[in-house]
């Protein structure tokens, strides 16, 4: 029951896709600050390498960059190959890499549909599938491995913006989480999802011109999410404290879904 043991994740190995910025960076930082070795992915190699070095130095940890495009099967296979070459086992997989697309209903394009669904849903499934064997290596009844899928409150609510494929993809992520959880719990791998609300990120920032003041005003908590909010929830789910939580989608949104609904005043 001692808090240092209850929430302890030190000595573990994590993969955080899209781990170099936004929510992925916040999660990576939380892991590194608490003794987890972290592999981060992104498509652009130079900023990814810089971010890994920055995070390693800041938290005196081990953050390893692997540049790849997880939206393609070739990119997934390459990434899985590198992980298998470097690690005999991993403990945590955080499926955070994602894309959004906004267009008016009558002009919404097939490319905007396929790009988002492929990365947010299809790639998430196949990456998890191909890392399952290495997630099983250290997994046990007392100390299961974890998969956390990053969804969105847009997959729970009707979104404010015309992002038809994005909200659909995130709803799919939430249901896929339940389906995968039922399958993988038998292997001592616990699958859960987090549905973030507004957090400072490239995705939300581009929609609000990086001015979060109005977003914060409309939030029941009167602010946007902070790194501690998402990192703390991930650490809970990955620690002994979260080892009886299976197949859940937990909103981290300041109360939007449960208390405010879509029409925020």
Per the structure block, which two tokens stand in for 144?
């299961």
Terminal-to-terminal C-alpha distance of the chain: 42
Per the structure block, which two tokens stand in for 227?
């790194």
The three-state DSSP-derived secondary structure of 195-242 is: EECCCCCHHHHHHHCCCCHHHHHHCCCCCCCCHHHHHHHHHHHHCHHH
Q: Where are the alpha helices (DSSP H) in the chain?
A: 3-6, 22-33, 45-59, 73-86, 110-117, 124-136, 164-184, 202-208, 213-218, 227-238
CA-based nearest residue to 128, from 149, 107, 110, 114: 149
Note if 166 is an active site residue: yes
From the centroid of its chain, how far is CA 239?
16
Which residue in the list 166, 199, 212, 244 is annotated as catalytic?
Answer: 166
Q: What value does the CA radius of gyration of the chain take, rounded to a whole number of Å?
A: 18
User: Which active-site residues does the annotation give?
Assistant: 166
């Amino acid at each position: 029951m001692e808090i240092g043991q209850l929430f302890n994740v030190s000595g573990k190995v994590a993969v955080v896709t899209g781990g170099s910025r936004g929510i992925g960076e916040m999660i990576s930082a939380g892991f590194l600050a608490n003794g987890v070795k972290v592999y981060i992915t992104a498509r652009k190699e130079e900023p990814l390498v810089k971010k890994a070095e920055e995070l390693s130095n800041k938290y005196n940890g081990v953050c390893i960059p692997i540049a790849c495009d997880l939206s393609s099967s070739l990119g997934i296979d390459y990434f899985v190959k590198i992980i298998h070459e470097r690690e005999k086992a991993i403990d945590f997989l955080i499926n955070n890499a994602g894309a959004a697309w906004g267009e008016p209903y009558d002009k919404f394009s097939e490319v905007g549909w396929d790009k988002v669904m492929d990365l947010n849903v299809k790639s998430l499934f196949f990456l998890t599938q191909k890392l399952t064997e290495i997630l099983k290596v250290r997994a046990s009844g007392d100390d299961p491995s974890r998969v956390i899928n990053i969804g969105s409150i847009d997959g729970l609510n009707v979104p404010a913006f015309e992002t038809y494929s994005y909200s659909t993809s995130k709803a799919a992520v939430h249901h896929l989480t339940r389906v995968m959880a039922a399958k993988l719990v038998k292997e001592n791998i616990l699958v859960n999802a987090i549905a973030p609300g507004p957090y400072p990120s490239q995705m939300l920032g581009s929609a609000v011109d990086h001015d979060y003041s109005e977003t914060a005003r409309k939030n029941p908590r009167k602010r946007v999410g902070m790194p501690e909010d998402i990192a703390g929830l991930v650490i809970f789910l990955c620690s002994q404290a979260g080892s009886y939580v299976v197949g859940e989608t937990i909103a981290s949104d300041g109360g939007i879904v449960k208390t405010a609904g879509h029409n925020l005043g």
